[in-house]
Amino acid sequence: MSLEEPEPSTQLDVGVTDDGLDYDQIEALIDDYVIGRESHVNAEGFVVRPDDVQAVLSTLKTEAGFDFCSCVTAQEYQDRYESIYHLKKYDDPTQEVSVVVPSPRDDPHNQSGADVYETADWHEREAYDLVGIEYDDHPDLRRILLPETWQGHPLSLDYNQDKPQIVPLREHANPLQDDKRSPSDPDTMFVNIGPHHPATHGVLHIKTALDGEQIADLEPDIGYLHRCEEQMCQQGTYRHQIMPYPDRWDYISAGLLNEWAYARAAEDLADIDVPDYAQVIRTMGAEMSRIAAHMLAVSTFALDINGDFTATFMYGIRDREVVQNLLEDLTGQRLMFNYFRLGGVAWDLPEPREEYFEKVRDFVDGLPEKLTEYHDLLTNNEILQMRTVDTGVLPPEDAKSYGATGPVARGSGIDYDLRRDDPYGYYDELDWDVVTEDGCDNFSRLLVRMREVEESAKIIEQCVDLLEDWPEDEREIQANVPRTLRPDPDREIYRAVEGAKGELGIYIRSDGTDKPARFKIRSPCFSNLHTLPTMSEGEYIPDMIASLGSLDIVLGEVDR
Amino acid sequence: MIGILKSMATTMKHALDGETFTVSYPEEVPEVSPRFRGVHKFSQERCIWCRQCENVCPNNTIQIVTDDQRNGEQYNLHIGQCIYCRLCEEVCPVDAILLTQNFEFTADTKDEFAYNKEQLKNVPWYKDIDPLQSREPDRGAWIGEGDGEVDYQ
Amino acid sequence: MQSETPLPDTLANLLGLDPSNPLVLFVIAVVASGVIASGLLALVAVSGIWGKRKITAAFTDRIAVNRHGPAGILIIPADALRLLSKELIVPEGVDRPAWDLGPLIMVFSALAGFAVIPMGNGIQIADPETGLAYVFAMASVASLGLVMAGYSSNNKYSFLGGLRAVAQNLAYEIPLILTGMSVALFAGTLRLSEIVAAQSTALFSLGGLAIPSWYAFVNPFAFVLFMVANLAEVGRNPFDIPEAPTEIVAGWQTEYSSVYFVLAYLSEFIHIFLGGAIIATIFLGGPAGPVLPGIVWFLIKIVGIYLFTQWARSAIPRVRIDQLIEIGWKGLLVLAFANLLLTAGIVGVIA
């Protein structure tokens, strides 16, 4: 046993006790900076002064082990602006802490947290863009979702929605103007990849400086699909009107997973218990959604690597079609399900139940054979291996700093899955495994998705067994929820579920009315896309395209 | 090399088995689930003009005009804007509105998608099936009103 | 056996004209070329517009075109009309006339290659002594068109596509020709009709079935090498890098529309068929085959090779440009030289 190396984890367990975090110990750690304390439903929040942000965050990161900044929520109150850093640990996401940073209304300035957590970079840009808080020392504080010329900040209280906005074409970068982007190396060439490009998976614009065929510099430019989803949710009632919209964030048939994110946050906010039977149905439906989403991810990845005549894409679509039919039977729609309700689900399983179980079982039983086919077409193919192994490398430290989650994190060997680590639904009663791969490259991410499909199938199978044996008089699909739901005022919650692309979190603040006062979506794709420059710089263009495909972003969720 | 040959064998197997998973629409129509939520059908006979559907609609697709006695005059639904969330059907206390299985509708302009109550009444059934019945078996059924006369007030 | 006289002479004799008169020969040759070019274009139309969809659909479990005419075959005139009636968009700043000449060069180089191919039943416009060299030369002129198109389009995607096309063609032209030379060593001639004739003898007999001495059977190694190099030469998976739609939109043809697009599109298919014709001629005995007339066998062979490219497209991922260059220079070139030396050795021993 070596004497000189103490176990680092002993220091990083500040406040960890058997029954949750002891927030007093954490407060003691940052005692010099804390000016107040708030209680959120998910965690305690420490109020700190705007110019102590960096000190507090880095203390919490290095000394208390909060290595994951999952979200930065900004909002405006009548008397102040506020930024909330939702911190977690990759090892145990139930250990959460919020850092609340108020700043004055007349001059909203905060210190930036981007030095501590890379992921805060984009989150703070979004906060600046939509709410109007300025972050000092931010590396690059520009608008991120709205055009550069936008006037005002749409989520601030005094924003005039009727003011006409002018977005002149001349403000767009002229692609030919800055041919020589880097003065030190004038041989680079600037290329706009997107917003209309066959492989950007939506309207993504990547400003790329090329050195020959290699990527010298690259910057994703997002916001082309910004649809004010947060604002729409703030204008909808908890009980009914919000639920149809989550389907439209990640619209690649991951709808039920998104609905669950909202359902979980709102149910915890309003203390609604969901009956077990409904939880099992939710679990089954959500895993079907995950299979459908992963099938599309794998098949479009094949499209990116093989070119547009590949048969793999069509096979993927064909197999996804089967899941979609099952979901259609269950929910009545193929993509925009609107099936979950607060406190349960809309309907019981379709009648005749036996027939439905039969169909689900057929699908699950046929899956291994289909997956063998995909392995033959993709992972066993030497050329695909040549193309994907050791390209688009994302080391685990970078993945953590950028807040990557889902298959992207698990492809970098980070064992993080909210279904297991922060159990919800019926997952903790079922027998399944979290899939991780250590390759950190495009190939690993592909492999993780393909193996997760198998795990999801395992979960579905167990759910079917449970549902089949469920006593007929206990099939309760919904809890008793008031027709107009008004959670107590000034409750705040951040809750996340494991979406198809990673941690999909919702922050809600209630103000006593039937509509949320602030509704913030933490999109996994947003943070995952942020890793693209790290993965791609120095690589060839085709590898950048492959990396983008392996991130499996959905622009609807990135831009919201 | 073996992997490449395996890939090629896989696609060739598919080419030779002669099966297709696409169909010759519209001659061959894929099955639509009984629960499918398509274009609305409206029953003026049932409607009590309580305006709950208008209130619950998340994006103001439904517009109701009543006179000062609260008698219904107009019931308009912009089918081109509808997100088919089915909340109107869910909150309706008298099952006056129902999302049929019909998804086949076209128009030349966006405006033609604003259906008034006559158009909503005449939305054809897709098949002889009652979607409401399959969605919520304990709710009242619509079937029978599909093509023929409405037999009660 | 094959007719030894080229098609224009045959035609002249049929019409009772004197083939030794250069003027007569010229006119007749133009007519004959026109006939063959039209036939080729018809073949391209069928296989490129209709056949490709059907083949791709078969691999991907779909139905594809089935509305116009039997099995949707009338989509060909419909599509031709559609493509030709589109607006020809000339982007700002393109370098004319290079931009206009690019697609023309591609089409004509590919078509001109067919002039020396013996297609059976006496269909061969000319039979020069340097036939094999001529056909390779013509096939590679297309690269010039690609560069012109890529460079003059004033589009960075086109530019990248053009550069990739040059790099790729350089890397694969040499192994391709070296492998072709090994055949010339066997046959002892560059004249294509003689290469075909050299393959007509029986190699050995298998249960009463005479296996002809096609060079694909004599030297399967060279055949495989040539097939791979040919995939790169015609730019099909796994070597469709100059276009690579998911990476550089459509490569060198990004800015082409309407008629120019049709030309570019046709040239790709003619090129595939030219590649197929070369393979058929030097490895598969040209038009040789039992029962059916030679031209039919010849068509079967080149369509078979075309099918192979489509099959490869359905299953094989695209390699990266640096990997492609590596495969070309470090892999295929070395193998091609090895094959050449081996062949020279064998031929020397036999002789």
Residue ranges per structural domain of chain B: 32-135
List chain C residues with CB under 8 Å of B4.
Answer: 315-316
Judge if A288 and A418 occupy the same domain: yes
Q: Which pLDDT tens digit goes with each residue over C209-232?
A: 777 778 777 788 888 888 888 888
Interatomic CA distance for residues C172 and C191, integer angstroms: 23
List chain C residues with CB under 8 Å of A198.
Answer: 245-246, 249
Q: How far is B15 from chain C (nearest CA, A)?
A: 4
- Cα C211 from chain centroid (whole Å): 26
Q: Which pLDDT tens digit goes with each residue over C240-294?
A: 888 777 788 888 888 888 888 888 888 888 888 888 888 888 888 778 777 777 7
- Cα C20 from chain centroid (whole Å): 31
Phi, psi for A415 (deg, rounded to 5): -85, 80
Which of C67, C237, C314 to probe the B interface (max B CBs under 10 A)? C314
CB atoms < 10 A from the CB of A481, how many?
Answer: 18
Interatomic CA distance for residues C169 and C177, integer angstroms: 12
Do A26 and A17 touch, CB atoms closer than 8 A? no
Residue of A nearest to C247 (CA): A542
Interchain contact, B14 vs A315, CB within 8 Å: yes
- pLDDT surpassing 80 at residue C12: no
Interatomic CA distance for residues A333 and B33, integer angstroms: 9
Which of C58, C66, C316 is the closest to B7 by Cβ? C316
Q: Band of the pLDDT at B120, cuts 50, 70, 90?
A: confident
Classified as helix, coil or strand, A178 is: coil
- pLDDT surpassing 60 at residue B40: yes
- pLDDT surpassing 60 at residue A5: no
- The better pLDDT of the pair C213, C98 is held by C98
- What is the pTM for the complete model shown? 0.87
Q: Band of the pLDDT at A1, cuts 50, 70, 90?
A: very low
Interchain contact, C320 vs A306, CB within 8 Å: no
- The better pLDDT of the pair C15, C315 is held by C315
Interchain contact, B58 vs A381, CB within 8 Å: no
Residue of A nearest to C312 (CA): A310
Q: Which pLDDT tens digit goes with each residue over C124-138?
A: 777 788 888 888 888
Please report, rounded to a whole number, the percentage of residues in chain A having pLDDT higher than 70. Answer: 94
Residue of A nearest to B132 (CA): A332
Q: Is residue A107 part of a domain?
A: yes
Interatomic CA distance for residues C126 and C30, integer angstroms: 12
Which of B14, B56, B135 is the closest to A240 by Cβ? B56
Kindly write down the DSSP assignment for every residue of chain B, as one continuous string: -HHHHHHHHHHHHHHHH---SS--TTTSPPP--TT---SEEE-TTT-----HHHHH-TT--EEEEE-TT--EEEEEEETTT-----HHHHH-TT--EEE-S------SSSGGGEE-HHHHHTPPPSSS--HHHHH-TTS---TTSSSS-----
Q: Which pLDDT tens digit goes with each residue over B55-80?
A: 889 888 888 888 888 887 888 888 88
Interchain contact, B22 vs C61, CB within 8 Å: yes
- Spatial neighbors of C269 by CB under 8 A, at least 6 apart, are C44, C47, C48
Nearest residue to B137 (alpha-carbon basis) of B44, B32, B34 = B34
Torsion of the alpha carbons at B56, B57, B62 and B66, rounded to the nearest 10: 20
Interchain contact, A244 vs B4, CB within 8 Å: no
Torsion of the alpha carbons at A34, A37, A38 and A44, rounded to the nearest 10: 80
Interface of A with C in 356-415 (CB under 8 A): 377, 381, 383-384, 386-387
Q: Band of the pLDDT at C351, cuts 50, 70, 90?
A: low
Crossing angle of helices A442-468/A353-377, nearest 10°? Answer: 160
Q: What is the mean pLDDT of residues A456-465?
A: 91
CATH code for the domain in which residue A466 is found? 1.10.645.10
Interchain contact, B20 vs C59, CB within 8 Å: no
Tokens 């050329």 sit on residue: A383
Residue of A nearest to C164 (CA): A213
Interchain contact, A241 vs B56, CB within 8 Å: yes
Q: Band of the pLDDT at B140, cuts 50, 70, 90?
A: low
Do A94 and A18 touch, CB atoms closer than 8 A? no
Q: How far is B109 from chain C (nearest CA, A)?
A: 25
Q: Domain B32-135 is in which class? A: alpha beta
Interatomic CA distance for residues B82 and B119, integer angstroms: 15
Interchain contact, B84 vs A333, CB within 8 Å: yes
Confidence at residue C1, expressed as pLDDT on a 0 to 100 scale:
39
> What end-to-end distance do the CA atoms of chain B give, in Å?
74
Nearest residue to A539 (alpha-carbon basis) of A406, A438, A394 = A394
Q: How far is B11 from chain A (nearest CA, A)?
A: 7
Do A517 and A488 touch, CB atoms closer than 8 A? no
Residue A445's domain comprises 229-559
Q: Band of the pLDDT at B150, cuts 50, 70, 90?
A: very low
List chain C residues with CB under 8 Å of A384.
Answer: 317
Residue of B nearest to A381 (CA): B3
Interchain contact, B22 vs C66, CB within 8 Å: no
Question: Helix, strand, coil proportions of chain C in percent (round to 5)?
Answer: 70, 5, 30
Q: How far is A297 from chain B (nearest CA, A)?
A: 19
Interchain contact, C311 vs B21, CB within 8 Å: no
Confidence at residue A91, expressed as pLDDT on a 0 to 100 scale:
85
Subunits that touch chain A (at least 3 Cβ pairs < 8 angstroms)? B, C
Interchain contact, C156 vs A191, CB within 8 Å: yes
Helix (H) or strand (E) holding C260: helix C258-283
Interchain contact, B6 vs A380, CB within 8 Å: yes
| C160 vs A: CB within 8 A | yes
Torsion of the alpha carbons at A209, A213, A216 and A217, rounded to the nearest 10: 40
Interchain contact, C237 vs A309, CB within 8 Å: yes
Mean pLDDT of chain A: 85
Judge if A433 and A551 occupy the same domain: yes
Interchain contact, B10 vs A336, CB within 8 Å: no
CA distances from C313 to A40, A371, A411, C62 (A): 56, 21, 29, 16
List chain B residues with CB under 8 Å of C55.
Answer: 15
Nearest residue to A444 (alpha-carbon basis) of A317, A521, A550 = A550
List chain B residues with CB under 8 Å of A384.
Answer: 3
Please report, rounded to a whole number, the percentage of residues in chain B having pLDDT higher than 90. Answer: 0
User: How many beta-carbon pairs below 8 A join chains A and B?
Assistant: 86
Token code pair at residue B126 = 């897709």
Interatomic CA distance for residues B76 and C30, integer angstroms: 70
Which of B11, B21, B24 is the closest to C59 by Cβ? B11
| B149 vs C: CB within 8 A | no
Crossing angle of helices C98-113/C131-152, nearest 10°? Answer: 160
Confidence at residue A294, expressed as pLDDT on a 0 to 100 scale:
92
Interchain contact, C59 vs A311, CB within 8 Å: yes
- The better pLDDT of the pair A289, B146 is held by A289
Q: Which pLDDT tens digit goes with each residue over C145-194?
A: 888 888 888 888 888 888 888 888 888 888 888 888 888 888 888 888 88
Judge if A395 and A514 occupy the same domain: yes
| A244 vs B: CB within 8 A | yes
Q: Is residue A142 part of a domain?
A: no
Kindly write down the DSSP assignment for every residue of A204-233, as one continuous string: -EEEEEEETTEEEEEEEE--TT---HHHHH
CB atoms < 10 A from the CB of C94, how many?
Answer: 17
Interchain contact, A199 vs C247, CB within 8 Å: yes
Judge if A63 and A20 occupy the same domain: yes
| B19 vs C: CB within 8 A | yes
Kindly write down the DSSP assignment for every residue of A76-121, as one continuous string: E-SSEEEEEEEEE-SS-TT--EEEEEEEESSS-EEE--TTT-TTHH
Interchain contact, A311 vs B35, CB within 8 Å: no
Interchain contact, A329 vs B37, CB within 8 Å: no
Q: Indicate the number of domains in chain A.
A: 3
Q: What is the mean pLDDT of residues A514-533?
A: 90
Q: How far is B21 from chain C (nearest CA, A)?
A: 6
Q: Which pLDDT tens digit goes with each residue over A409-453?
A: 999 888 888 888 888 888 888 888 888 888 888 999 999 999 999
Q: How far is A318 from chain C (nearest CA, A)?
A: 9
Is the bond into A352 cis (omega within 30 degrees of 0)? yes
Which of C66, C314, C316 is the closest to B4 by Cβ? C316
The neighbouring-strand residues paired with A97 are A87
Interchain contact, C58 vs B15, CB within 8 Å: yes
Interface of A with C in 286-305 (CB under 8 A): 302-305
Interchain contact, A383 vs C238, CB within 8 Å: yes
Subunits that touch chain B (at least 3 Cβ pairs < 8 angstroms)? A, C
List chain A residues with CB under 8 Å of C313.
Answer: 307, 309-310
- pLDDT surpassing 80 at residue B49: yes
CA distances from C82 to C72, C75, C255, C295 (A): 16, 10, 18, 32
Interchain contact, B11 vs C63, CB within 8 Å: no
| A317 vs C: CB within 8 A | no
- pLDDT surpassing 50 at residue C199: yes
- pLDDT surpassing 70 at residue A54: yes
Helix (H) or strand (E) holding C8: helix C7-14
Q: Which pLDDT tens digit goes with each residue over A65-118?
A: 888 888 899 998 888 899 999 998 888 888 888 999 988 888 888 888 888 888
- pLDDT surpassing 60 at residue B147: no
User: How many beta-carbon pairs below 8 A join chains A and C?
Assistant: 86
